[in-house]
Amino acid sequence: MIRYGKDMVREVKERLREGKGEVEIVHAFTREELTGKARLCALIRIPPGNSIGYHPHVGEEEIYYILRGQATVNDNGNIQVVGPGDAVLTGGGASHSIENTGEETLEFFAVILLYA
């Protein structure tokens, strides 16, 4: 299957996971199209100062691969600054959050994989 950017499902979430401001999600493929053990395959865009709030991943894991911008990630209490080329893996009941602490829009690719 090939999905052109112009055909991807886009949504804007306000205060995602009790975070700050708006977050844009561009679904490369929707959950219904993913036949493997995954529930998210998307590009995430977060404007400066906005965030995805702290939330757990039980029975699954989430991968962030940072493409553009700078962010502060709280990975189960480990707070680090990340940028282009960095990756974050959170799962097994651990929690995380991400906040755009840079001056440009933060862009990262996110994938959520299910354990069962």
**Cα angle 86-70-60, degrees, rounded to a multiple of 5:** 50
pTM above 0.85, yes or no: yes
Q: Read off the pLDDT of residues 40-92 as tens digits, 9 standing for 90 and up.
A: 999 999 999 999 999 999 999 999 999 999 999 999 999 999 999 999 999 99
Q: Read off the pLDDT of residues 93-112 as tens digits, 9 standing for 90 and up.
A: 999 999 999 999 999 999 99
Q: Are 107 and 67 in contact (CB under 8 A)?
A: yes
Class of 9-114 per CATH? mainly beta
Cα atoms found within 13 Å of the Cα of residue 100, Cβ hemisphere only: 23
8-state DSSP, 104 = S
Which sequence spans correspond to the domains of the chain? Answer: 9-114
